[in-house]
Structure 1
């Protein structure tokens, strides 16, 4: 089964963009402080640096992690497991009595052909 998987490329680009934002924030802070601007101008640069560091760490971990999250790559289930599979499809004794709509996530009986919540036709492979 194909599923949406995290994109290493977009996450790596996000990490690089965040590093550029941190560099911009450093220059902004230095320039604003050296010009004697009001306190909120350098503060804006510091805020930019903090946000850039947080985003760079998140995107770098997303680009290099085993179970990444993104909406860009579509891979085969055998290649990489779906991180949401563990949450929504338990392997308990009652798991065969119901299934979930892939469009809206509604819990449905195993015999349903259409979703009772969104009305869309359910795929036959579930």
Structure 2
């Protein structure tokens, strides 16, 4: 099944943005302590820093790692595996094999625009997610 993954370029840019956000959080926290503001303002800065660091790590992993979480780029499993596949293998029919539902590999195959599952052109609804696909 095709996976949709974040591009390496946008992930790298988000990493840089997260680092800038963490630096802003440091300045915010130091400034709030320096002026003697009430505790919620410096605490907000600390929370801001923690969230920015988590985002920076996530985006760096997506920019540099081979196994990345699915979001934007459409890839084949032969190109890059999807780390969530082990949790999402079963479709709604309870089968992992598309031939069991009448779809031959790479013959008359289109992909559902909602879930990316293989379907046939004559199918009105996706066999995996059940959404109507022929109106697109």
TM-score by length of 1: 0.69
The runs of at least 4 aligned residues of structure 1 exceeding 6 Å deviation read 107-110
1:88 matched residue in structure 2: 89
Q: What is the RMSD computed on CA atoms of the aligned residues?
A: 3.6
- Per the alignment, in what secondary structure is the counterpart of residue 4 of structure 2? strand
Alpha-carbon offset, residue 82 of structure 1: 5.1
Cα offsets for 1:72-96 (capped at 9, x unmatched): 4344554334556663368xx8722
Residue 115 of structure 1 pairs with residue 125 of structure 2: yes
2:40 matched residue in structure 1: 40
Contact 2:15 2:57 in 1 (8 A): yes
For residues 14 and 38 of structure 1, what CA distance do their matches in structure 2 show? 31
Alpha-carbon offset, residue 99 of structure 1: 7.0
- Identify the range of structure 1 (66-75 vs 11-20) with the bigger mean alpha-carbon deviation: 66-75
- Identify the range of structure 1 (93-102 vs 60-69) with the bigger mean alpha-carbon deviation: 93-102
- Unaligned ranges ≥5, structure 1: 122-126
Alpha-carbon offset, residue 65 of structure 1: 1.4
Aligned in 2, Cα 1:52/1:119: closer, same or farther, shift over 3 Å?
closer
Contact 2:90 2:96 in 1 (8 A): no
- Unaligned ranges ≥5, structure 2: 104-110
1:11 matched residue in structure 2: 11
